[in-house]
Structure 1
Amino acid sequence: MLFDGFSRTTRIVNDIPYHFCLGGSGPLLMLLHGRPETHAMWHRIAPALSAQHTVICPDLHPERSLSEQAADLLSLADSLGHHSLILAGQDYGARVACEVAGQQPSRVKALILLEALPGPDHTGRDDMAFSLTQYESCWFGQLHPKPEANSVQIPAEWLSDPISEDSYFSPEAVKDYLSAQVWRSNIPFSWPASRPELQCPVLVLWGKKGRIGGWYNPVALWQAVSASTVTGQALPGEHFLPEEVPEETISAMQNFLAAMSCSDGR
C-alpha cells in the first residue's frame, strides 16, 4: 500500500477539488509532482520526510494557470493551519513551486527543485540535433513506418502489463498515473513573461544520466534568478529521481531540510 500512515482526502479550494495525501507533523512540506505523473510519484519519499514535517502531496490542475494553481496551493496550506511552507517540485511541479514562491515570498521558506530549469534561453542550441533529443520530435524525425502516434506523453514501459519486475516504477503508482484525470485536456505550458527573483534558499537536484546536467550548469542558472543561496547536486538517475533513486533523493532532501532547521534555530 502506498503512503502507509497517510490520510487521503479531497478538499475544495477556490471552487476546485484538490486530491491529496497528508501525513506527519511539524512544518509544512508540500511535494508537487511532475508530468505525466500524479501525487503517487512521492510514495517512496513522503513517509521518510514525515518524521520531521507535515507532508502534503496534492494532485495538480494543469488546466489552470500557474498563477491560479499557486493561489490554490497557498489557500490549501491556509486550510491546514500553516502560514509558512517549504515546497519541493519535480519537473512541472517545480514550475508551480516557483510560482508559489513568487506570489508569496514571505511564506515560502525554501524550495527543492528536481529536474527543472528556470526557462533558459536556447539561443544557439536549437539546431536539429538539439530538437531531436525532445521525446516527441525524435518520432517525427524518423522515416515511415515509425508512426507519429508513438509520440505519447508517458514512458512506454508504463503501458506494459504487467510492469516488469526490475522496473523502478511501482505498479500501484503507474495505475494511478494512467487512470487519473490530471493530464487530460490540459493547456500547453509556457513560462510567464517575467518572474520575480526567488527570495528563499534553493536546492537543485538533477540526474547524472539525464540531459539537464549534460547541457547546463543547473546551479548557475538558478542562481541567476535567485536572491538567496542555491546549492545542488547530481544524483545517479535520469529524470524520475524520487522513483529511480529514492534513497539518494531522500538523503539530499533531508540534509537540506536539516540545514534549514539549524539556520532557523530549530
Structure 2
Amino acid sequence: MFEGFETIDRVIDGVPVHAVRGGDGPPVLLLHGFPQTHAMWHGVAPGLAADHTVVAADLRGYGDSGRPPSGDRHTGYTFRAMAADQVGLMRALGYEEFAVVGHDRGARVTHRMALDHPAVVTRAAVLDILPTLHVYDHVDQALATAYYHWFFFIQPADLPERMIAADPVGYLHSLLGGWGSGLDAFAPEALAEYERCFSDDGARHAMLEDYRAGASTDLEHDRADLHRRVAVPLLALWGARSVVGASPAGPLEVWRERGDDVRGGTVDAGHFLAEERPEETLAALRTFLSEAP
C-alpha cells in the first residue's frame, strides 16, 4: 500500500513506535485514528510524498507500535503521552519541526501536540473531530447514540474487552461500516490490516485504554489548558455525513475558540474521509501544507 516507502521502527523512551516514510521535502507526520493503523493513509500519503517527506506512524497501543502499561488513571495512553512518542520519533529521524495531520484519535493527539510542543509543530490538520472536552461538555441524546462506544469503552476493564472478544472482527466491521462510511470504503489490503490488529486481545485492550484516558486524565489536561490556544495554522476537515458534520455546533466556530488561525470545511464523506474520498482529502491537505507561512 506504500510503494517506495521504507519501514521504520524506533524505540522512543522505552516505547516501540512503528512507521513508514517516503518522499522528499518539508516533513509531515500522519496520525491515524481508532480502530485503524497508519494503513488508513494509503490513499493520501503517496500523493503528499510528491512534495513532502511523509511519515505515517502507528500510535502507541495501535498497529505494530508498543503497548506500554496503562499506569494509574490510564496515563500510559493519554494524548500527551502519544504526542510525546511522535515528537520523539520525528526527532530521532532528524526532524525538529514538522507539520502534523491527524484523523479521529490521531487528530486529538495532533491537538495536544500543538499545545504541548508549539516550537515543533509548524501546521496542524484535524480530520473529523471536535475537541475532546467540547464533546464531553455538549453530550445530548443524538451524540450519545452516535458515540455510544465512547461510554461503552470507558467501563472498567475487563467488561468491554470480554464482550468485544465474542466477535472482534464482526464488531470491527460494525464500527468501520458506521459513522457515515460504508464498509466498501476500505481497500481490501487496509481492511485486512485492521482485522489483523483488532483480532489481538492485547491491542484491543490498549485501544480501550486510549478511550479510558480520554475520559479521565486527558480531560484534566484539557481543562487545565483552556487558556492555551493553537498558535500555528490549523485546518479542520470533516465528513458531511459524519457525526461532526451533523453537529449543531459549527465545527469551524468551535475550533476558532481554540486556535488563532483556523480554516477548513466539509468533504463529501462519512467519518473515514481519507479512505472514502482520498483525492478530495489529499487536495485539501496539499493546498493547506503548501501555503506560505
Task: Please indicate the TM-score interval, normalised by the length of the shorter structure.
Answer: 0.7 to 0.9
* Structure 1 outlier segments of 4+, above 3 Å: 125-130, 135-139, 147-153
Choose which of 157, 163, 176 in structure 1 pairs with 2:193: 176
Aligned Cα root-mean-square deviation (Å) = 2.7
* d(CA) in 1 for partners of 2:140, 2:171: 23
Secondary structure in 2 aligned to 1:184? helix
* d(CA) in 1 for partners of 2:15, 2:143: 38
Residue 229 in structure 1 maps to residue 261 in structure 2: yes
Q: Which amino acid aligns with 1:11?
A: R
Superimposed CA distance per residue, residues 136-192 of structure 1 (whole angstroms, 9 cap, x where no aligned partner) = 4999xxxxxxx9978976233869xxxx9x912011111111212684212112333
Aligned length: 246
* 8 A Cα contact 1:38 1:177, kept in partner: yes
- For residue 144 of structure 1, what is the aligned residue in structure 2? none
Percentage of pairs with the same residue:
33
- For residue 239 of structure 2, what is the aligned residue in structure 1? 207
> Residues 73 and 133 (structure 1 numbering): CA distance in 2 closer, same or farther, change over 3 Å?
closer
- For residue 194 of structure 1, what is the aligned residue in structure 2? 224
- For residue 43 of structure 2, what is the aligned residue in structure 1? 44
Secondary structure in 2 aligned to 1:154? helix
* d(CA) in 2 for partners of 1:138, 1:93: 19
* 8 A Cα contact 1:22 1:56, kept in partner: yes
* 8 A Cα contact 1:20 1:39, kept in partner: yes
* d(CA) in 1 for partners of 2:186, 2:100: 23
Q: How does 1:89-100 map to 2 (within 5 A)?
A: 89-100=102-113
* 8 A Cα contact 1:36 1:183, kept in partner: no
Q: Give structure 2 stretches of 5+ with no counterpart.
A: 62-75, 153-162
* 8 A Cα contact 2:39 2:190, kept in partner: yes
Secondary structure in 2 aligned to 1:257? helix
The structure with the greater share of residues assigned to helix is: 2
Residue 70 in structure 1 maps to residue 83 in structure 2: yes
Secondary structure in 2 aligned to 1:105? coil
TM-score by length of 2: 0.76
* 8 A Cα contact 2:143 2:243, kept in partner: no
> Residues 179 and 257 (structure 1 numbering): CA distance in 2 closer, same or farther, change over 3 Å?
same
Note the C-alpha offset of 1:5. 0.8
